[in-house]
Structure formats: structure tokens, C-alpha cells
A and B are shown apart, each in its own frame.
Chain A
Amino acid sequence: MTATTKRHRPLLHLLALCLAGWAGLCLPSACTRPAATWPAAIADGAPIFPNYTACDLVLPVNIAPLDFMVSEERLPQVAMVRLEAFAAQAEDGAPTAALDVKLQRKDGRLECRFPVADWHRCLQQAAGGHVRLGFRNRQGQPLAEAPVLRWQISADPIDPYLVYRLSAYDENPCKYLEAEERCLENFDTRLLMDNRRTGGQCFNCHASAQNDAACMSIHLRGDGGGTLLYRQGGFRKITLPDGFPSLRLAYPAWHPSQRFIAFSSARIQVFPYTNIYKTQDLIADTLARLLVYDIERNRLLPAPSDALAAAEHNARYEVSFPVWAPDGNRIYFCRAEKLRFIDTLSFVENLARFRYHIAAMDFDTATGTFSLPYTVCIDSASSLSLPAIDPSGRYLVVSRLPMGSFPSQNGGELALIDLSRRGADGLCPLQDIPALASPDGEKSHQFSSNGRWMVFGSKRLNGSTAAVYISNFDRDGRFHAPFILPQASGEFYTKQLRTFLFPVLNRTAVPFTLDEWTMAAVAPATPIDMRLFAADYEQGAQPMGAGH
């Protein structure tokens, strides 16, 4: 301190006192604001929030910092954290890098915010090894009562971009919808779609072709709706022509060749079922069928290809959520016997019988023809929906729902199907995934392009709003404890009311802007050539209920 400063110290103190008094007088709201409480109900008993304390946590080497809040009640002396990188999995040895972070106070809470560049340097040093995170006091001494967190660092990166839809609440119908892109290596977000720009039109079913953001589709509902295809640097909007009232282009799945998109079409029947806690939409499908759109020839192909077989199949089954095998030679989808109400059962009991299983058809890319469908996996206790396939083609992850295939219903837990294994009945067995399970349900899952990561939505944080979680899927076909999508502030999820839906991982950033999307969304759509389809389409099939 200089002599001048020393001389003016009493004056400085007086000035500080005056400033404090002025702040007290002029900013009463700041003083009356209560100190933020620890979010006990959602912190799940952990001393940090979000809870990154799972012992089996595996992080991708390129993930953004896992910033968090620290509970002073549970760790009273805590003042800083130390992150140490270890190149190997072994516990012994000296760290190859370390990072000390002083906790910052914000709104009465302590926050740990890692500098992004230093965090990445540490993780790079720990790739294939692990990091240890310890809590320390003001003097830099480890806190005896605090846990030491151990995070494995996988050298396999996660695709750096995530697209998800945001809705205001977890209740239908939501008025305002947005789709955002988030860079997973930092905290940058970008608005891609906003239905306030298109007259409140609902949009959904965004999908990219095998994690390729340059090849995307988005379905727009309502008047002036259609399906937007982004491909080869530009948008194209397609729609079904008049005369096919029961058809919809929903739940898209891009063929690996990027020439075909499989859709399932169904009219959904909504049965709002209310209990004392919440209203659940129990949703059944009707008039469902698979549609395959040939992008190059702007036409729809029937599936199965044999007209008689297709008619028989469509008369017996509802189908939903197609997904292509990575080699493009097979398509998996959900299939259920058509719902027939039995008078002696209540309507909920009837709906509870409406359960999907997983079926498949072989596909000849050269001729664009399908085989007859066959069953792949059945679960007697639940309805299998939302299949997602890993890039090796060996595993399918499905959501086990109470009934039907529609993802908006409550519940749903993830299960794994190993397609390389067959039981005595010729069907693939279904395995629980305890590492990912929670009482609040998981769904909307998707693999990264290298197959080592899966993102999914879960309401486990507060039971009401869904957030995105990331889990490592190792080479032994085992999922590790998931972690919530990290945010720039640890308190983000304590007050997050919007729900994250349908996370999709991309290798690159989405090439279009919000303005470009808006222009494409309001542009007129090109009708699809239906000549191949019209032959076996039942004109008598009238729409019923709400639809996509």
C-alpha cells in the first residue's frame, strides 16, 4: 500500500460507510431479498447441486465445466475446491495437472465456477484417467468431513452440439415453443426455432441424419404446416397433398444414405386421465402405418412393399417410431395389435392393454423395397417405444412405457436390447438399465455418433420439468451413472421451469439461422407425389381425434 493510500485510509473508510448507507437507503429491495435457501428437495441429500457425486460418473473429455453450488450447511468451512487430473485410472501417483477454484458467493449461495480453458486443460490431462475433486477451507486444507469426488474422464469425446426443444411447462398444449442449440464444450446457446415467429404453430419431431446437423427435418403442425427438410445447404418444405386425411409425417428417421426418411403416420386418440395429482394423457394410435419418403424423387413408398402384405399388416397393427439400422439394410419400429375395447373393462384397463413391441423389416436400398415385418423383442409387462440404435447396430435402447408409444405420458424407463443375442423363442432379450433408472421416468434418448454417449430426458430433478442427462455407454455395453447437462451457473436448475425435450446430438453446428428457419417455415410447401401410395390407401379412413 502506498503512503498516499495509507494517509487517506480514514477518509476511505468514511466514504465506504457513506456508500453502504446510501445503498441501504436507496436499494431496499436488495436488503429485503431473503437469502436463498439450499434446494433441499431437489438436491437429493448431496452437498453440491447439481448432484455430481455418483461414484460411477464418467465424463467426456470435451465436456463443459461441471459448475455447481455448495451447501455451507453441509460443508461449513468450505471456501475452495481443488481439481486434480490423473492420467491413469489408478489411485496412486501424482496429478498431472491441478486447478484451484475459489468459491464465489452469489445471492447468498456459494458457487463453484471453473474457468473454461483451465477445466479443459485438466480434462485433457486426465483423458483415459480420472479427476479428483476435493473441498478445502480458506487456508487450502482439505475438509475432513467432505467427500472427495472421483470422475472418470473418457478419451471418447461427445458430439459437441445438442439440439433440444424447450416448452414453457410440462403441460399440453403449450403455447410457446423454442428449439435451441447448445455447444457442449462451453455454455454457448443459440436459438434455432421459435414458434412466436410462425403464429404460434406447434413444431416437433426435429431429427438429424445420424448426428449430422447438415441434414435435418422438422415437422410443423397446423395450418400452413408441413415438414421442413434441411439438406445440401437449403430448406425444402414438403406436405401431403389433399385427399389423404389420415396420413401424417411424424417421427422421422433418416436413412444413412440420406436419400430416404422413414415416418410413421397415425391419428392419435387422447384420453386425458386425471388423478388427484396430475392429468395424464393416455394416448392410443389409430390408422397407423409406416411411410418412407424418397427425397430424390419426392414420393412416398409403402412399407411393407408387397401391397397385400401391407394391407394385412396395416389392418392388424399400429406402428410407430421407426429407426434405421446403421447399415441402412433394416428398419426397426414399434408395433402393437390394434386396440379393441372390451366392454367389461374400464377404459383405463383397455388402454393399459395397448402395448407396443419392437419389430423390423429388411430394406433393399437399391430397389427401395421392404421385406415382411418380423418381431424382434416383446416385453409382457410394458409397452416398448422410442427405439434408439447405437452406431454399431448391436444395441437398441427403448423406453418402457405404461401403455402406447406416445412420449408425453408420465413414466417410462430405459431398457437395452442386445440385437446380437436371441432367446429360445428367437426374440432378443430385454435388459433393465439400473444405472439410468429413476422413479420419475426417462425417455427421448439418443446416441452420439461414436456410440459412447447417450443423451436422454428425465424429470428426476423435480418430477415435473424434464432436463437433459448424459451417460457413458462403454465398450462392454454398460451404461454409467448419468449427469445432468452442465450449465454456466450451478443454480440454473434450481429455478428452471422450462422443460427440455428430444435432445439430439450433432457432430457440427446446425448450419441455418433462426431467420432462415422462420422464412422456410412460413413458405408454401411442395406436395409429395403419392401415385405409388394411392393404390393401397384407404380413402374411407377418416380422421378421428387429434393428430400430428
Chain B
Amino acid sequence: MNRGGLIERFLGDNRLRLCLVMGLALTLTACLSPEEKCLNTMREAVYADDFAKGLATADAFYRKHAVETEHPSERAMALRWEISAYTRLCLLMTGELNRRFLAYYPVHEMGVLFPAPLPFVNRHCYAYARLYCEMGLYGPALPIVLWHAEDLGWDEAGLNLLFEIYTNTNQSRVAQTYLQAFQQDAKTRRWSAPWVATVTALAENAASAPDGTRTQPLSPAFLTGPQADESFIDGYAKAVFRYETALSDTATPNPYLTDYYTLLCLLEKDLAQVPRLLDVYRRQGRPIPDYLQEATLIYASDAGNAAGLEAAGLTREALQLSPDMEQRVGKVFRDFEMLKIGGLPFDEMTRRHAATYTYHFLFGQIQ
């Protein structure tokens, strides 16, 4: 058989063709760096709302690459920052933020809750836009969605976030403009099709709802809204949470925002917020997360604080604090006493307890 015939037979055989395609895919995957592989898998998982898989992927990556022996390249570092952003999102969405965030202590990029320079370094990071959206902070989510599209083009996930923001904030006019614009391309037309009914209904009811696109003047009404004394997301998250909880005694803020705000306060060792946080979790009917339980026990170790909690009905029984947490906090404090008298090396103290909130309370830098 001549060479042309061999090639024809090879390409004509479906099994061989499948092997060829799979081989090519495997080769391409093998060429990817660990960071790229991890990020791709996390992205796919997050786009499919499989946050547990995303978190498992991050864990597998960090088990091998928590600390790099060599200084990573700028490209690798950018990817690591993005992985860390997806990790935060997955922690928040799986309810693990206040149970596991501190367990990532060896990972430099996980050192703070929100790395402020990120919007400018990775301005198109979908994970941040999604994080803000899930917390109900649509204002800061929007620019990231748009920057993502400008840098990388539209994808289905970004497009969904865009319409989620516009529909949640009653921005019917601009939503309709985007809907019209997306009709020009087959892909964006298909992705936006599920939003047509929602946006049309929003537009039809535009007169009865405040138009979120409208300018917000610096009027007294605006000034009584959430006020952030700091730039960036942490300041804003705090301001919104405090504003919403101050509106009424029965307000129950978005649970994701509550978790985020809780960790912010705890990382800053602002234990004065503990009673209010406990009250919000109680109102939301959600279990008290591990770090807040630890913080509560530390806070209640002061007799005056304990009496205040009791008076507010925030007793151990009412809060259903776990006996495990009590043991955990007690162990850290006992080891701390050992450390002070030279009976325990600090490395061992860190190895044993760095993933606990109590350790952070004793040794962690205010973040």
C-alpha cells in the first residue's frame, strides 16, 4: 500500500482518529504548567457551580505547591494569585471560609482575605466578580465583568454575571442594550437567550422599580447609605454589612456577606463584634462557624463579656457551641502556656495550631 493510502486508512478509522485527538489533547495538557492546569480545572468547576470540586483542586495544588522552592515567574505568580481568588470563592460558597481559611497559612497569596492590588493586577478575574455578586455587592462586581470581557472577550459565565448584576439592580435600559448587542454574534446570542424573558419583564416593569442605572447624587439620602471609610472591597463589605444590620434589629444580611464580614472582623481581632455576629447567625438560623465559635469562647473568657452574652440570650446552649471547639481553644491556650515557659518550641506550636483561630488571635498579624 502506498503512503497516501496508509494516511487515508489511518484518518478514515474512527478509533484511530479518536486516539489522535486524545493524544493531541494529552500532549497539550502535559505542556501546561501546574498552575495553569489547576486554574483551568477550578474555572471549569466554578462555572459549573461545583465549588467542592474547585476547592478539592486547590487543595491538591497547594499540597504540592504551597511554597515554591524557587521564586516563581511573574506569569506563575499571576496564576497563583488567580488560583487564590478562586480558592476564596470556593471556600465561601462551600461554607468553609470560617473553618478552613487559616489552614492555608503556608500559602503566601492566602495571607489576607482580600488582596487589595488584585483588581489592578488581575482586573479580569472572574472569581472576584462572582465573589462580589454572591455577596450582593453588585457595584464592585460590574467593572470586573466588563474588564474581563474587554481583556478576554465574552464567555457564558461572564455574560450570566452581567445580566445577574443588571437584573438585580434594576438596570433594565443597559441590560436591554447588551441584549440587543449580543444578538449580533451566534455564541452570545445563544448564551443570552435565557435572559431575554427576564430582561424584557424588567424593562416592562421599569416604571414601577427604581432604575439602578440612574445617577446616585451625593445627597443626604445617599450619604445615609453604606459608607466605606476605606477603599476596596473589605471596607465596602464592612460598610454594607453594618448598614444593613443597622437598618433594623431583624435585618438578615446576605449569608455570604455575613461569612465574609465575620472573617474580616476575626482576622482583625475585632472581638467586640462577636455579640452582633452571633445575633446575626442566630437570626439567619445558621450554625455558628468554627472560627466564630473559637472567638466567642475567647471573648466570653472575660466575665463581663460572658454576662453580656447571657443577658442577650446568647448562651452556650442557645448557640450550640461545639465541645470540640472548647477543647481546641483550651489546648491552644495550654500549649501557649508551655511555650511561654520554654516547654514547647514555637515551630511545634505553629505546626499544631496554625490552622485554628485561637492561634491567629494569639500570634497572627492584624490583617
The distance from the CB of B59 to the nearest CB of chain A, in whole angstroms, is 32
- Measured between beta carbons, the chain B residues less than 8 angstroms from A352 are 218, 223
A464 touches B171 (CB 8 A): yes
Q: Could you mark each residue 10-38 of chain A with 1 if its beta carbon is under 8 Å from any beta carbon of chain B, else 0? A: 00000000000000000001000110110
Tell me whether B273 is interfacial, beta carbon within 8 Å: no
Return the CB mask of A453-487 against B: 1 if under 8 Å, else 0.
Answer: 00000010111110000000000000000000000
* B150 and A495 form a contact (CB under 8 A): no
Closest to B132 in A: A274
A7 contacts the other chain (CB 8 A): no
Of the listed residues B146, B184, B196, the one surrounded by the most CB atoms of chain A closer than 10 A to its CB is: B146
Q: Mark A343-373, 1 if CB is under 8 A from B, else 0.
A: 0001111011000000000000000000000
Residue pair B183, A39 in contact (C-beta under 8 Å): no
Q: Are B231 and A272 in contact (CB under 8 A)?
A: yes
* A107 proximity list for chain B (CB < 8 A): 183
Taking CB atoms, residues of chain B closer than 8 Å to A346 are 223, 227, 229
Q: Is the CB of A40 within 8 A of B177?
A: no
From A272, which residue of chain B is reached at the shortest CB distance?
B231
A496 touches B177 (CB 8 A): yes
Closest to A353 in B: B218
Q: Is the CB of B177 within 8 A of A497?
A: yes
Asked whether B226 is an interface residue with its Cβ less than 8 Å from the other chain, the reply is yes
In contact, B218 and A440 (Cβ under 8 angstroms):
no
Contact status B227-A348, CB under 8 Å: yes
Please name all residues of chain B whose beta carbon is closer than 8 Å to the beta carbon of A411 when the two chains form the complex: 215-217
**Interface: B203 (CB within 8 A):** yes
Q: Does A187 contact B (CB under 8 A)?
A: no
Q: Which residues, 253 to 292 on A, are CB-close (under 8 Å) to B?
A: 271-280, 282
Q: Let me know if B177 and A279 touch, CB within 8 A.
A: no
Closest to B176 in A: A41
Distance between Cα atoms of A279 and B218 in the complex (Å): 13
> Chain B: which residue is nearest A282 at the CB level?
B218
CA–CA, A352 to B222, complex, Å? 11
Pair A280/B177 contact, Cβ less than 8 Å: no
Chain A CB within 8 A of B174 CB: yes
What 1/0 mask marks residues of chain B from 316 to 359 whose CB sits below 8 Å from any chain A CB? 00000000000000000000000000000000000000000000
Asked if B232 is an interface residue, CB under 8 A from chain A, the answer is yes
Taking the nearest CB of chain A, how far is it from the CB of B74, in angstroms? 17
Q: Are B137 and A274 in contact (CB under 8 A)?
A: yes
Residue interface mask B223-240, A partner, CB < 8 A = 1: 101111101100010001
A174 an interface residue at 8 Å Cβ cutoff?
yes
B63 within 8 A of partner (CB) = no
Q: A180 in the interface, Cβ–Cβ < 8 Å?
A: no
A-side contacts of B183, CB under 8 Å? 33-34, 36, 107, 495
Q: Verify B174–A463 contact, CB threshold 8 A.
A: yes
A99 at the interface (CB under 8 A from B): no
CB contacts (< 8 Å) of B228 on chain A: these are 273-274
Contact yes or no, B216 A277, CB < 8 A: yes
- Return B102 CB to nearest CB of chain A, in Å: 28
Chain A, interface size category, equals: 35 or more
Expressed in whole angstroms, the minimum distance between the Cβ of A284 and any Cβ of chain B is: 13
Contact of B215 among A36, A171, A441 (CB under 8 A): A441
**Does A494 touch B at the CB level, under 8 Å?**
yes
Q: Please measure, in the bound complex, the distance between the C-alpha atom of A168 and the C-alpha atom of B152, giving whole angstroms.
A: 13
Tell me how far the C-beta of B342 lies from the nearest C-beta in chain A, rounded to whole angstroms.
46
Write out, one digit per residue, whether chain B residues 137-180 have a CB within 8 A of any chain A CB (1) or not (0): 11110110011001100000000000000000101111111101
Task: Report the separation of the CA atoms of residues A274 and B231 in the bound assembly, to the nearest whole angstrom.
Answer: 9
Distance between Cα atoms of A516 and B146 in the complex (Å): 31
Query: Would you call B64 an interface residue if the criterion is a C-beta within 8 Å of the partner chain's C-beta atoms?
Result: no
A246 at the interface (CB under 8 A from B): no
Partner of B146, one of A169, A351, A491: A169
Contacts of A440 in B (CB 8 A): 213-215
Residue A402 lies at the interface, judged by CB distance under 8 Å to chain B? yes
Residues of A within 8 A of B232 (CB): 272
A175–B150 Cα distance when bound, in Å, is 7
* Cβ contact within 8 Å between A42 and B213: no
Q: Across the two chains, which residue of chain A brings its CB closest to B123?
A: A173
| Contact of A275 (CB < 8 Å), options: B150, B200, B204, B225 | B225
Chain A residues, CB < 8 A from B223? 346, 348-349, 352
Q: Evaluate contact between B151 and A497: CB separation under 8 angstroms.
A: no
| A403 at interface, CB cutoff 8 A | yes
Q: Bound complex: CA of A194 vs CA of B350, how far in Å?
A: 55
B289 within 8 A of A: no
Please determine whether A464 and B189 come into contact, CB atoms closer than 8 angstroms: no
Distance to closest chain A CB from B341 (angstroms): 45
B111 contacts the other chain (Cβ, under 8 Å)?
no
- Please provide the chain A residues from 422 to 443 with a CB less than 8 Å away from any CB of chain B in the complex: 439-441
Determine if B231 and A494 form an interchain contact, defined as CB atoms under 8 angstroms apart: no
Query: Roughly how many angstroms separate A276 CA and B183 CA in the complex, as a whole number?
Result: 28
Closest residue on chain A to residue B147 by CB atoms:
A171
Choose among B142, B173, B183, B231 the residue with the greatest number of A CB atoms under 10 Å from its CB.
B173
Q: Does A176 contact B (CB under 8 A)?
A: yes
Interchain nearest-CB distance for A162 vs B (Å)? 22
Compute how far the CA of A428 lies from the CA of B150 in the bound complex, rounded to whole angstroms.
45
A410 within 8 A of B: yes
In the bound complex, CA of A95 to CA of B175 (Å): 43
Q: Which residues of B contact A37 (CB under 8 A)?
A: 196, 200
- Contact bitstring A92-112, B, C-beta under 8 A = 1, else 0: 000000000000000100000
Which residues of chain B have C-beta atoms less than 8 A from A461's C-beta? 173, 177
Please pick, from A29, A172, A274, the residue contacting B236 in the complex, using a CB distance under 8 A.
A274
Q: Is the CB of B151 within 8 A of A280?
A: no
Chain B residues within an 8 Å CB radius of A278? 139, 142, 212, 216
Task: Answer yes or no: B6 CB below 8 A from chain A CBs.
Answer: no
How far, in angstroms, from A465 to B186 measured CA to CA in the complex? 24
Assembly CA distance A349 to B175 (angstroms): 32
Task: Determine if B227 and A495 form an interchain contact, defined as CB atoms under 8 angstroms apart.
Answer: no
Q: A276-B136, A277-B138, A346-B227 are in contact. Are A403 and B218 (CB under 8 A)?
A: yes
Q: Which of A273, A410, A464 contacts B177 (CB 8 A)?
A: A464
B181 at the interface (CB under 8 A from A): yes
Chain A positions within 8 Å of B217 at CB level: 402, 411
Alpha-carbon separation in the docked complex, A37 to B177 (Å): 11
Residues of A within 8 A of B150 (CB): 168-169, 174-176
Q: Which of A40, A279, A410 contacts B143 (CB 8 A)?
A: A279
B180 touches A36 (CB 8 A): yes
Q: Is A410 a contact partner of B215 (Cβ separation < 8 A)?
A: yes
What distance in Å separates the Cβ of A8 from its nearest Cβ neighbour in chain B?
38
Q: How far is the CA of A439 from the CA of B210 in the complex (A)?
A: 12
Residues of chain A contacted by B236 (CB below 8 angstroms): 274
Roughly how many angstroms separate A410 CA and B171 CA in the complex, as a whole number? 15
Q: Which residues of A contact B52 (CB under 8 A)?
A: none
Closest to A497 in B: B181
Mark interface residues in A387-419 (1 if CB within 8 Å of B CB, else 0): 000000000000000110000001100000000
Please name 8 further chain A to chain B contacts, defined as beta carbons within 8 Å, in addition to the given A41-B203, A173-B123, A402-B218, sorted by A numbering: A33-B189, A171-B147, A175-B147, A274-B140, A277-B169, A278-B216, A282-B218, A462-B177
Q: Which residues of B contact A (CB under 8 A)?
A: 123, 136-140, 142-143, 146-147, 150-151, 169, 171-178, 180-181, 183-184, 186, 189, 193, 196, 200, 202-204, 206, 211-218, 222-223, 225-229, 231-232, 236, 240
Closest 5 pairs between A and B when the two form their complex, measured CB to CB: A463-B213, A495-B181, A41-B203, A464-B174, A462-B173
List 13 contacting pairs A-B, 8 Å CB cutoff, sorted by A. Answer: A37-B196, A39-B177, A42-B173, A169-B150, A175-B150, A277-B138, A277-B212, A280-B216, A348-B218, A402-B218, A462-B176, A462-B213, A464-B173
